[in-house]
């Protein structure tokens, strides 16, 4: 991200902050009580999500053999085209051709398809955390309103981000968070996406790359910050009904994971992937996603599949991370035997959440554009084309911090999840490198 983009974003944030918030905006945390706690429960937020026509405008960036499209609503990735082993372009992310469908999905049964989630990704136990002696209550939006997921009722995924920089191969969105969802303090957020390619006429081993980077600056108070990109991947490009027997996954540095209860809240323990569930969670070597999935009872009540936070253990003693390239490390490899598309993920984060689309049941459509692409390429099942997202039909990959680390101080993750005016920004940086096998 260029300095000019940062300057524009900060200027726009100042302009927005100079305007009075809407009368119904839920922009402040209840004042602490005499004992240093906030005894009143969090009010239900009344500020509606941002979903105007401007937030649904499609922006497209490209380089040789890679094209990505976005909308400001949630700073959301809506499509990503990369070549398969035969050189044909495939859209390998779940989404909608019609941007208005993202708003409808968020209003009905929010699946968080392709956005930046925050201010705090994943779950917060009891929708509550304590920071500097003050108890904060965040609006609950999961399991009968007993806990919070992805930032609250109206998280970053439903906000209208502002486009501050847009070139042929890069786009930057900005969001000024005036204490949304009862989180303390104001935060300016930038989300930058960039595509690059090493393609040339004489390079048969070229690679294409998507880079995602969020930068969050706490302006007025210490606050938890953990943004994440919530992208649904299907390297088969929906030529098969699921990814179980054609997609290999490897998490080479993840020999540990965070066990959770029936509501996917961390138990406070740290697990070993080799001994838990007879190695069902062990992806340290490449393994088909479906090889052990029937034994994977790690996705909540009455669920079979993966919805698991895998810890990324770097091989050196250096455990800190910043925006420095030295902290980026290869954390994930994935390949499709159907299309030959491979993806290697590097990140500066300390964990990665893997969700195997366990609850998809065919109600979410595959983009008509990709169904048409499969038909034109005579690929997949021509008699019964895959036109809906089935159970295990995709994989969500979320590079992020240790989930609910703010409620588990014994893990020592607070320095990487709590930020303030005197601290460095919170940076989530990942690269997705695509090739063929």
List the catalytic residues. Answer: 230, 398
The total of other beta-carbon atoms located within 10 Å of residue 132's CB is 11
**Which string of b and e fits 229-256 if b means at least 16 CB within 10 Å?**
bbbbbbbbbbbbbbbbebbbbbbbbbbb
Measure Cα distances from 338 to 114, 335, 384 in Å.
23, 9, 17
Residues pairing with 136 in the sheet: 129
How many angstroms separate the Cα of 314 from the Cα of each of 78, 93, 265, 320, 327? 32, 28, 25, 10, 9
Residue of 32, 234, 205 lying closest to 114 (CA atoms): 234
What's the distance, Cα to Cα, between the start and end of the chain in Å?
31
């Amino acid at each position: 991200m260029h300095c000019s983009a940062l300057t524009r974003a900060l200027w726009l944030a100042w302009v927005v902050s100079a305007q009075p918030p809407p009368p119904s905006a839920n922009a402040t945390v209840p004042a602490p009580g005499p004992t240093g706690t906030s005894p009143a429960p969090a009010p239900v937020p009344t500020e509606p999500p941002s979903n105007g026509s401007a937030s649904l405008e499609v922006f497209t960036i490209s380089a040789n053999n890679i094209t990505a499209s976005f909308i400001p609503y949630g700073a959301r990735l809506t499509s990503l085209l990369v070549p398969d082993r035969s050189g044909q372009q495939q859209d390998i992310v779940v989404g909608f051709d019609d941007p208005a469908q993202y708003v409808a999905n968020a209003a009905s049964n929010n699946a968080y398809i392709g956005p930046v989630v925050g201010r705090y990704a994943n779950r917060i136990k009891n929708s509550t955390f304590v920071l500097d002696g003050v108890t904060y209550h965040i609006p609950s939006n999961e399991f009968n309103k007993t806990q919070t997921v992805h930032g609250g009722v109206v998280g970053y995924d439903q906000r209208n981000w502002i486009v501050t920089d847009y070139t042929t191969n890069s786009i930057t969105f900005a969001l000024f968070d005036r204490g949304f969802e009862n989180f303390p303090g104001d935060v300016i957020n930038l989300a930058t996406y960039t595509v690059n390619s090493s393609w040339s006429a004489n390079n048969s081993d070229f690679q294409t790359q998507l880079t995602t980077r969020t930068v969050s600056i706490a302006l007025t108070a210490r606050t938890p910050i953990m943004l994440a990109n919530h992208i649904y991947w299907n390297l088969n490009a929906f030529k098969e009904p699921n990814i179980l027997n054609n997609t290999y996954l490897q998490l080479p540095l993840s020999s540990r994971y965070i066990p959770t209860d029936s509501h996917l809240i961390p138990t406070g323990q740290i697990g070993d992937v080799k001994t838990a569930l007879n190695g069902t969670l062990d992806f340290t070597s490449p393994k088909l996603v479906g090889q052990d999935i029937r034994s994977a009872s790690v996705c909540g009540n009455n669920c079979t599949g993966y919805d698991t936070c895998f810890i990324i253990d770097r091989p050196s003693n250096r455990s800190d991370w910043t925006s420095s390239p030295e902290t980026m490390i290869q954390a994930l490899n994935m390949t499709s035997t159907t299309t030959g598309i491979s993806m290697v993920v590097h990140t500066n984060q300390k964990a990665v959440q893997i969700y195997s689309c366990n609850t998809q049941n065919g109600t979410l459509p595959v983009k008509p554009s990709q169904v048409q692409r499969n038909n034109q390429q005579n690929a997949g099942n021509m008699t019964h084309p895959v036109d809906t997202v089935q159970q295990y039909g995709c994989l969500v990959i979320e590079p992020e911090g240790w989930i609910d680390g703010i409620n588990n101080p014994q893990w020592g993750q607070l320095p990487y999840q709590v930020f303030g005016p005197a601290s460095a920004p919170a940076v989530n940086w990942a690269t997705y490198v695509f090739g063929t096998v």
